[in-house]
Structure 1
Amino acid sequence: MLAIIPSANYYETYIYLCLFLLLCTFLHALLLDINEKKNIIFINTVGYFLLVFFIILIGQREITSRYGFGDTANYYKAFKAFSFGEPINDAKDFGWQLFMKTLSTIVTAHTFFTICTFLYIYPLYKISKQLFKSYWYYCFFAFIVSFSFYAYGVNGVRNGVAASIFLWGLAYRENKVIMVLFFIWATMFHKTIMLPVLAYLLTYIYNNPKFYLKGWLICIPLSLAMGSVWISLFASLGFDGRLSGYLTGDFAGEAPRFRWDFLFYSFFAVFAGWYYIYKKKFKDNFYNQLLNTYLICNGFWVLVIRANFSNRFAYLSWFMMAIVIFYPLLKQTLFKQHHIMLAKILVAYFTFTFLMYFVYYSK
């Protein structure tokens, strides 16, 4: 891919390709019923193209920290050290260390990153396909155009892979043994995935969305009034030194601030869940579990929203936003012109990502 698409233009390629396909999707919604054969052929063709294209594009990126690739260079440094025989010295996230160590002895660095990208993107396809059958493209595309998607493909790689493996586990929710094995795999790659795992398991005990919606709302004034208290409390738990570093670390000397912009973004899924369940009377126990898991994880982030690296915790809920927003739309006809409304919501969802591109990537 490097010979075709310059590294400096990777994000532009991603964002404008998604914009083009979104416009095509919207046009199909205006002209065709969602069940028409032409539409089914189109969405499946585009879906498989995106699956393969982005695995190759992101997986074969230049191994550097430039162009927004962030920690790619650090992962390469660790991979290279393992390839020269360095042993696993850090027992934390042992699964990831073993994964990297094993691959370093049999594949090149670019192949390693491509495998990581496969583990990041394929589960998004798997859960979408398992839940929505022929209409999987809409949810998969929503995953792809999520604000956090690109960053956790090229920068927060391990976190992104672990979160996707968690979603992969949900695709096997009818087989609890397999699901739990995926959850264990995810937490062995990144311990912070324990939060969505425990949140999801909690929904088997109590799964009332009204309770969790109220809890999420209460987190906002608690954070405004006692933000530093929550940051100190969670940092002192001591179950992961990296967690404490994210919560208390200094980010380019910037003063902590309440991220109203990201809270607004998080609210999209909260409002969608409330609207579907209480206004549209959508009833689905698994959807309640998804929404409640999101609310628990996002509520935790709201409490520590002033932490300089709080985006690391925001992702523990943001990676679920697409499925929380689009699940009811792909399970039940909720509107008179349902296909058009689905496309409009997809446009609105992508718009935030597209606008943030000009804020964060075009400076």
Structure 2
Amino acid sequence: VLVSVFIGLRPQYWGFVDMNNYIDWYPVMWGYEFSFDWNAENFLFDNLYSFMSCSGIHWHYFFLVIAFIYFGCMWYSCWKLFPYDTQVAFLTCLAAFSTFSYGTNGVKAGAAASLFLTALSYRRNLLMTTLFLFLSLGFHHSMMLPIGAFILAYFYRNTKVYFLVWGLCLLMAAAHITYFQTLLAGFSDERGTDYLLSVGNDWGGKTGFRIDFIIYSAMPILVGYWAIFRRGVRSMFYEFVLSVYLITNAIWLLCMYASFTNRIAYLSWSMYPIVLIYPFLNENFGKDRYKQFAKVMLFHLLFTLFMEIVYY
């Protein structure tokens, strides 16, 4: 949280376009009377932003609130899911490839994703789960995809089928089949359509068949296959959250050739650390389970460091 706040104090020096956009527009509404806009694209985030701006609250505190939601919900989810290993679980979340980016340059989606994790952590309380799913959607409308995956996995609990679907989507991505990318654009809003139909590199990132992203995305899937079909893990929650991850990541595979593909991938990566480490910390894998967890955690961190320091 302190790192995020420090960055928020001088974001213009860090080149975070998303944060700078919020700062540039923030003073525009100072002195205006706040009125809740039910037609806002992201009805909770946008109204929170407007309320704090209209109230004359400095944008430092706006980013502090968002950082609290982002990291606070992330920690709370780890505490709920891993009550005996909260610290190492939270450390795994902090070491994830996308954590820094969505704590600084994608704050809206990051906060929404952390609220979604909290919804997952309340798996036995349908009322609280529904509340946090609603809050997540209110912070960013892109959460419709993981929420849709949540609902599908809740009513159809056949993890083997979701493994097969993910593999099929991977084959279609390798064959450069973009039919579903165009199809999904027809159901998206204007911004989502721009992301899905724009295939150039004007945005400054990498495009095409992202073998790096595939390797990264496959790690919790390989762990899940090993845990369920080799070690015989039978956990309703683990199979459920793995199914949600498989569905959401499979949609990204179908849209891989679009620009801003990382933003689509993040919809599954936001739950990545939880899916990756759950069987090691919450299942009986014997006395060496923490050694196995340490190895997975190390590779997880090394990938992040490689991507941030070497690859980019």
With the length of structure 2 as denominator, give the TM-score of the two structures.
0.92
1:33 corresponds to: none
Unaligned runs of 5+ in 1: 1-54
1:182 corresponds to: 132
Unaligned runs of 5+ in 2: none
What is the one-letter code of the residue matched to 2:253?
A: V
1:100 aligns with 2:49: yes
How has the CA–CA distance of structure 1 residues 316 and 241 changed in structure 2, closer, same or farther, with 3 Å as cutoff? same
- Between the aligned partners of 1:256 and 1:344, the Cα distance in structure 2 is 31
How has the CA–CA distance of structure 1 residues 340 and 64 changed in structure 2, closer, same or farther, with 3 Å as cutoff? same
Q: Give the count of matched residue pairs.
A: 306
2:102 corresponds to: 152
Matching residue within 143, 165, 189 for 2:93: 143
**Cα offset for 1:84?**
4.5
Alignment of 1:72-151 (within 5 A): 72-85=19-32, 91-104=40-53, 105=55, 107-151=57-101
1:234 corresponds to: 184
What is the one-letter code of the residue matched to 1:219?
A: C
1:245 corresponds to: 194
1:338 corresponds to: 289
How has the CA–CA distance of structure 1 residues 191 and 260 changed in structure 2, closer, same or farther, with 3 Å as cutoff? same
Aligned partner of residue 252 in structure 1, secondary structure = coil
**Cα offset for 1:197?**
1.0
* Contact 2:173 2:256 survives alignment (8 Å): yes
How has the CA–CA distance of structure 1 residues 161 and 360 changed in structure 2, closer, same or farther, with 3 Å as cutoff? farther
What is the one-letter code of the residue matched to 1:350?
A: L
1:272 corresponds to: 223
1:202 aligns with 2:148: no
2:4 corresponds to: 58
2:309 corresponds to: 358
**Cα offset for 1:256?**
4.1
2:214 corresponds to: 263
- Between the aligned partners of 2:168 and 2:15, the Cα distance in structure 1 is 35
**Cα offset for 1:228?**
2.6
What is the one-letter code of the residue matched to 1:234?
A: L
Coordinate RMSD, CA, aligned = 2.0
**Cα offset for 1:106?**
5.1
What is the one-letter code of the residue matched to 2:87?
A: Y
How has the CA–CA distance of structure 1 residues 236 and 114 changed in structure 2, closer, same or farther, with 3 Å as cutoff? same
1:301 aligns with 2:252: yes
**Cα offset for 1:114?**
1.0
With the length of structure 1 as denominator, give the TM-score of the two structures.
0.79
**Cα offset for 1:328?**
1.0
- Between the aligned partners of 1:277 and 1:99, the Cα distance in structure 2 is 42
- Between the aligned partners of 2:29 and 2:279, the Cα distance in structure 1 is 45
- Between the aligned partners of 2:157 and 2:17, the Cα distance in structure 1 is 38
What is the one-letter code of the residue matched to 2:290?
A: H
Q: What fraction of aligned residue pairs are identical, expressed as a percent?
A: 32
2:169 corresponds to: 219
2:113 corresponds to: 163
* Contact 2:52 2:62 survives alignment (8 Å): yes
**Cα offset for 1:147?**
0.2
| 1:180-208: CA deviation from partner (whole Å, max 9, x where unpaired) | 11111111111110111111111121111
